[in-house]
Structure 1
Amino acid sequence: MTTETVISVRDLWKVFGHKAELVPRSDELKALSRRELIERTGCTAAVREVSFDVAPGEVFVVMGLSGSGKSTLVRCLTRLVEPTAGQVVFEGEDILGAGKRRLRELRRHKFSMVFQNFGLLPYRQVIDNVAYGLEIRGATKTQRLRRAREVIELVGLEGYEHSFPDQLSGGMQQRVGLARALAVDPDVLYFDEPFSALDPLIRRDMQNEVIRLHREVGKTMVFITHDLSEALRLGDRILIMRDGRQVQCGTGDELVGAPADDYVRDFVRDVPRASVLTLRWVMREPRPDDVLDGPELGPDVIVRDAVRTVLAADRPVKVVRDGTLLGVVTAEEILTVVTDVEAAA
């Protein structure tokens, strides 16, 4: 990426097994498939040569099916799992070289994690669960309770400060976990499939909560999920993994509009294209007989949101950025996507 990065991952490997460190050093072993590597060495490569950057304030989603390596990857980023090889540069510091003391400082001050299983302390009230990270950091009781009340209000748990976890629904317990992560004001929030155990309606509410909180506090987020619709709702960019490898990284419209291979194409096959693709994917070059005095829209407008304007116009709608004409869109292009007539490329 050309912008400043908060996280920069380069050639990251996590191999489980005897003499795992030999695998990333050997071109021969690196070339083996996951099955071949297990048969040959007894080792499992959960993460293989993964590289990406995360920009400040970005919601970066890592997704894949079970066994793709996504959860192992996020644990490598925080060193809850020790990587076998590669680099994880956090705000300019390669944290793979950090000692135990420095790693504790990073976990207490720089990043927090929200897990699927909540991880709440059952015999502590909500306010004390939320304040726990500040207690570990050494904040005074007055400081941590004041901050805990602030984030409890932020996540919509006012009135439940003195409840115990077992008195709360699953969605409310996850809000407590989210509040606890926010309380320490980290630079980055890591989410490891936090909503997988919730029923669909509560899950959607929590997705909306993450979107709202991101809008309000602007935290950089790395979000792990196996759910494509969740990834598309939350992610500025999405990294798709398979068998420990990264398959494609891009925005939602890039994954749907230009899938890198059949695996990604299969993943996005049932996505409503009009809800994801932007006008830059459907616009065409102006023709000599086009009358170019119609409405203007930007290239990043989602097709669904452009339907009314395009269908109401009696001439091509211009797609313009910074005063430059990029292309035009007519009812023909719009209806092709809306009705899914066009096969996925």
Structure 2
Amino acid sequence: LPVTLNFNGPSQAQRELEEIERRYEAVKRNSGILRLNGEMVKADFRDLEFISDIGSGSCGHVSKMSYNGHVMAVKDMARTSNKEDNKRIIMDLDVISRADASHHIVLCYGYFISETSVKVCMEVMASSLHTLLRNANRIGMRIAEGYIGKMSVSIIQALDYLKDHLNVIHRDVKPSNILLDWNGAVKLCDFGISGQLIESRAHTVQAGCPPYMAPERFDPRYNADYDIRSDVWSVGISLVELATGKYPYSHIESEFAILAAIVRDPPPTLPENMGFTPEFHDFISQCLQKDFQLRPKYKALLGHPFILNSAHDESHDLSILVQDVLGD
């Protein structure tokens, strides 16, 4: 049967522009202030010393730099006349600067806003889960379920924090936006397309990485109406990828065909022949319910046996995994 994909959610353009302007003025007031070791320091970006390049992505270039001995990752994002780009930058700043109470969201030391760019100073992390998995595959290593369980606890806690404390839905959960440090701490990053929830629902679809997006995000039957459970689907897809070593729709070539399969086909499951526990199988099946009304929210997931068992598991130290996969 032909599949119709809907990418035209209801517009709230004027309302969003006003909200962007309000947030911009709020974050602009703190430009040039770094929070280091519990103290607020007024800084000039020219005083930061370049150490090395970390990499580039869709959101900008990241460098390792230092300020008075404090090493940090600095994300440099160009400001343009594109309203969507500016919205992403402001949303990223707004969320990351207000989420410092969570141990599961990458720490922001501060930022510098100029007429041409925004530079965000963050803690240095060891790797993304995307890079970790790529390296594990390269050396023929499978990431054990116990490690994935530990990651899952932090990911769900981070998303629950965003919802409870900031009333925000991430909307771009995927392995490249989940980071690990050398101590094994797992943290969410990249909030550029996060959305403010209105009465616990989001109402636009033009955000996110389509291959990790939930069916309701582009299925016209839902009329672009979704909530935090769309991120739960993205978590499920990411965990299947980590557990099996490959993206569950990797056998499909075009992105449009992947989106059609997400809407049309049964959801991915964990293979029966890889030794996964019944709890992990059930957790994935809960996360990947096609009907988002049947999908659990974060509090229910935090009470799932897979998460409870993983939270108390002391035999899987993520710092050891990072060392084994990434080396020195």
Range into which the TM-score falls when normalised by the shorter chain:
under 0.3
With structure 2 as the length reference, what TM-score do the two structures score? 0.25
With structure 1 as the length reference, what TM-score do the two structures score? 0.24
More strand by share: 1
